[in-house]
């Protein structure tokens, strides 16, 4: 469960990113956050794993404050959270498998990961993750040889290899064509259903949100202006 309690974020230049957000997201939910550019979607998502620090309030995960977590505890909490970006954020010049293995970094010592000495079980796990997103045959290709949609599926596999319990996807399909967009959204939805991974996706197209979400949260100027089932979401929100 993810809880936002009176969460606000004011950027150092005074811009308000989030303004007093209160939300509860249950385990296994597939939530889509919609809103115009600048509404605060990215700020909200990135505040969950503290890629952005909030300036007021608390965010709790399974009852534990990630806002207050430090050191090893924060690292452990972050390990449960997989992040997917619009621009894929893969290491371009190395293999797909290496990229997926980077999801295992939090499970090993720095030396192991620096030397790239991952145990066999990790490789098995990563290949399985690639299989789940139907891209196993690309394991030994260089990441930058893949199409955009394939690269995004690799980043989903990386989150699976991380054994994330929560996936945060920040505009994951914004740079993809309509067909590839569907494939990536289908993958996210299927993984949510098969593995019960809590999934929060930022989208700026309400039509796509309606098609995939069971719950839509609408943001405007850093505030929640809609929160409910898909049927009730209109273009006004
Ligand atoms: P969205 O993801 O919905 O497009 P963002 O969360 O990126 O919205 O932005 C919310 C608001 O915060 C916007 O007004 C944006 O300009 C501002 N903002 C985002 N990042 C920064 C930053 N690093 N410094 C200052 N303002 C920012
Ligand atoms: P996105 O497409 O993810 O919303 P943006 O183009 O809004 O990204 O922002 C790109 C980068 O600039 C991000 O790191 C964001 O935090 C930062 N940024 C966005 N708005 C502002 C702003 N008003 N002032 C300073 N930085 C900003």
Q: Could you tell which of 21, 42, 51, 168 is best to mutate to test the pocket of ligand 1, judged by most ligand atoms within 8 Å of the CB?
A: 42
Predicted pLDDT at 204: 87
Count each helix (H run) and each strand (E run) in the chain, helices first: 8, 10
Picking from 76, 77, 160, the residue whose alpha carbon sits closest to that of residue 124 is 160
Question: Which residues lie closer than 8 Å to 34 by C-beta, 6 or more apart?
Answer: 41, 202, 203, 204, 205, 206, 209, 216, 217, 218, 219, 233, 237
Asked whether the beta carbons of 78 and 163 are under 8 A apart, the reply is no
Predicted pLDDT at 111: 78
Name the residue at shortest CA distance from atom 14 of ligand 1.
38
Quote the CA–CA distance of 237 and 234 in Å, as a whole number.
6
Predicted pLDDT at 114: 75
> Residue 110 to residues 102, 155, 188: CA-CA distances in angstroms?
12, 21, 30
- The pLDDT confidence band at residue 237, using thresholds 50, 70 and 90, is very low
Q: pLDDT tens-digit profile of 11-45?
A: 999 999 999 999 999 999 999 999 999 999 999 99
Q: pLDDT tens-digit profile of 114-136?
A: 777 889 999 999 999 999 999 99
- Residue 217, token pair as written in the block: 């949260």
Q: pLDDT tens-digit profile of 65-114?
A: 999 999 999 999 999 999 999 999 999 999 999 999 999 988 888 777 77
Name the residue at shortest CA distance from atom 12 of ligand 1.
17
Model-level ipTM above the cut of 0.85: no
Q: Could you tell which of 13, 15, 83, 175 is best to mutate to test the pocket of ligand 2, judged by most ligand atoms within 8 Å of the CB?
A: 15
């Amino acid at each position: 469960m993810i809880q936002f309690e009176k969460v606000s974020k004011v950027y150092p230049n005074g811009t308000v990113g989030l303004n007093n957000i209160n939300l509860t997201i249950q385990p296994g939910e597939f939530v889509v956050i919609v809103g115009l550019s600048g509404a605060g979607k990215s700020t909200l998502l990135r505040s969950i794993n503290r890629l952005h620090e909030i300036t007021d309030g608390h965010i709790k995960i399974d009852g534990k404050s990630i806002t207050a977590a430090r050191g090893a505890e924060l690292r452990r909490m972050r390990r449960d959270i997989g992040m997917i970006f619009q621009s894929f954020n893969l290491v371009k010049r190395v293999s797909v498998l290496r990229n997926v293995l980077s999801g295992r970094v939090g499970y090993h010592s720095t030396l192991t990961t620096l030397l790239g000495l991952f145990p066999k079980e990790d490789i098995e796990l990563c290949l399985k993750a690639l299989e789940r997103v139907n891209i196993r045959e690309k394991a030994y290709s260089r990441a930058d040889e893949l199409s955009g949609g394939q690269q995004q599926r690799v980043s989903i596999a990386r989150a699976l290899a991380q054994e994330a319990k929560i996936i945060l996807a920040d505009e994951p399909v914004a740079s993809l064509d309509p067909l590839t967009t569907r494939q990536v959204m289908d993958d996210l939805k299927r993984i949510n259903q098969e593995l019960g991974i809590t999934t929060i996706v930022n989208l700026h197209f309400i039509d796509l949100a309606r098609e995939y979400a069971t719950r839509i949260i609408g943001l405007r100027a850093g505030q929640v202006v809609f929160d409910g089932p898909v049927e009730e979401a209109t273009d006004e929100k």
